[in-house]
Structure 1
Amino acid sequence: MIIEILGVSTEHATILFIVAVLAGFINTVAGGGGLLSIPALMWVGLPPTVVLGTNKLQACGGSFSASYFFVRKGIVNLKEMKLAIFCAFTGSILGTIAVQQIDTAILKSIIPFLILGIGAYFLFSKKIAAEDNKQIVGPTLFAFIIALSLGFYDGFFGPGVGSFLTLAFVSLAGHNLIKATAHAKVLNFSSNIAALISFAIAGKVLWILGISMLIGQVIGGTLGSKMVVTKGVKFIRPLMVTMSIAMSAKLLLLS
């Protein structure tokens, strides 16, 4: 009965749970956890749209647990992020609507190089440190330009959104890398929830399997957020570079 509800064998469900733990850890620290979870869901034979919907459900676990950890540690002040959270949520809803109307071929060809550029930024930039830098864009402008547009991107396409958000918080909001990673997770959770709602309305979510993976994501996200706080820049920076290269290579091979 359990196997019938999950839609996959217990062996596959166990593997997907382990994958979700690893994806949650990687996604919290550097972004790109979807490189593991999406191929794994496709591997068990689920339809592509169900893969995307179920992946959004399980991704909410990692982004929520990481966000909760960072808020509880005082690294993120939710009151200061209300507008950005709303914009990311709204943008993601609009993105999920738009992706059903627009050809994504051009976007697919550009994104790998943008993500590779992020990796190069984190590898060579002298701005990235344990201290905050000069703020270039204020919170309101950041919300309406960055949070809204990257929320839209997450609903529309998605790969590398965590890396894009972290880069924006470092280069535009002036955050140090730990603070940038923490704030990126909060906005990523907002856009994940919005996309999940859209997929759920369309009936594209395998709930029990997704919840099982969500639990794995919570474990991985919690471990990853603790690693961000304890290891800091020395750990995040090389993983950001590694995941940027991996995401770019993966997307180029699929294009």
Structure 2
Amino acid sequence: MLDPQVLMLLGLVGVLAGFVDAIAGGGGMVALPVLLSVGVPPVAALATNKLQGAIGTSVAVFTYWRRGFIDFRALIWAIPVTFAGSYLGAVTVKSIDTSLLQIAVPLALIGIAGYFLFAPKLSDADRAARLGFAIFVPIMGFAVGFYDGIFGPGTGSFFTMGFVTLFGLGLTRAAGNTKALNLVSNLAALALFIPAGDVLWPAALVMAAGQIVGGYLGAITGIKFGARIIRPLVVLVSIGLAVRLLLGG
């Protein structure tokens, strides 16, 4: 049982994680180490992190949608396909060797950070898409969702990179669509974690309350400042995740 002081700390961590995650993804980089540091077992920490993160992401998705940055009709096929990919990844994770990802994923994240740091034309304006949205976003959703199911770190960065470079979305619309598919991917994992009894509910509910505040504040901040804040935060989150993975965090 976690004492009240620890639960208060976790609530504040939920606010910070929700804020960061709503803008650039990577909220788990904030929340998961804290859950582990207060003595939550690894599997329970992963499950609890997914649940509290899903609450904050839901708030962010609703906020982006209300402001017109998400068109769910365009994601009608991507949503179930992303769910299927993530669920399949979570089911098969125990039967595959993910050690190669410990090196490959940090290198990919550093590449994403470099792109967002140095690409001169990244803004909130939409550009010409390289691939058809209706056909290829579901393919991306399945691939990134599967990755999220088997490993996870950097999922938001990969989605954002895809929406910007392949489908020509401006950074704010890319952030909104990223949160929508990231939420679907998290729900697929929870479809396994919750029936298995892995969620530590007192911690999850307190952090979820913080996530509601942080997710809303992060979403409206991302909408207000657009590329000016999304671009540097994607860079920082991608580099932070890469360093943590390379150091064995």
What TM-score do the two structures reach when normalised by structure 1? 0.95
Give the one of 185, 189, 198 matched to 2:183. 189
Structure 1: 5+ residue stretches without partners: 1-6
Question: Contact conserved, 1:127 with 1:133, CA < 8 A, in 2?
Answer: no
How many residues in Structure 1 have an aligned counterpart in Structure 2?
Answer: 249
1:37 is matched with: 31
Counting only pairs closer than 5 Å after superposition, residues 136-155 of structure 1 correspond to structure 2 as 136-155=130-149
Shift of 1:60: 0.4
Shift of 1:71: 0.9
Shift of 1:129: 1.3
Counterparts of 2:108 and 2:45 in 1: how far apart (Å)?
Answer: 25
- Amino acid of the residue matched to residue 142 of structure 1? F
Q: Deviations over 1:20-67 (max 9, x none)?
A: 110111111111111110000001111111111111000101110000
1:89 is matched with: 83
2:168 is matched with: 174
Counting only pairs closer than 5 Å after superposition, residues 195-210 of structure 1 correspond to structure 2 as 195-210=189-204
Q: Deviations over 1:180-235 (max 9, x none)?
A: 00100000011111111111122211123212111111111100000011111111
Counterparts of 2:20 and 2:95 in 1: how far apart (Å)?
Answer: 31
Counterparts of 2:162 and 2:135 in 1: how far apart (Å)?
Answer: 12
Structure 2: 5+ residue stretches without partners: none
Identical counterparts, % of pairs = 41
3-state DSSP class of the match of 1:254? coil
Over aligned residue pairs, what C-alpha RMSD do you find? 1.1
1:220 and 2:225 correspond: no
Give the one of 231, 236, 251 matched to 2:225. 231
Question: Contact conserved, 1:99 with 1:156, CA < 8 A, in 2?
Answer: yes
1:135 is matched with: 129
- Amino acid of the residue matched to residue 237 of structure 1? R
- Amino acid of the residue matched to residue 161 of structure 2? L
> Which deviates more from structure 2 when the two are superposed, residues 168-177 or residues 206-215?
206-215
Question: Contact conserved, 2:74 with 2:134, CA < 8 A, in 1?
Answer: no
What TM-score do the two structures reach when normalised by structure 2? 0.97
3-state DSSP class of the match of 1:105? coil
Question: Contact conserved, 1:87 with 1:143, CA < 8 A, in 2?
Answer: no
3-state DSSP class of the match of 1:118? helix
- Amino acid of the residue matched to residue 89 of structure 1? F
Shift of 1:19: 0.7
- Amino acid of the residue matched to residue 240 of structure 1? V
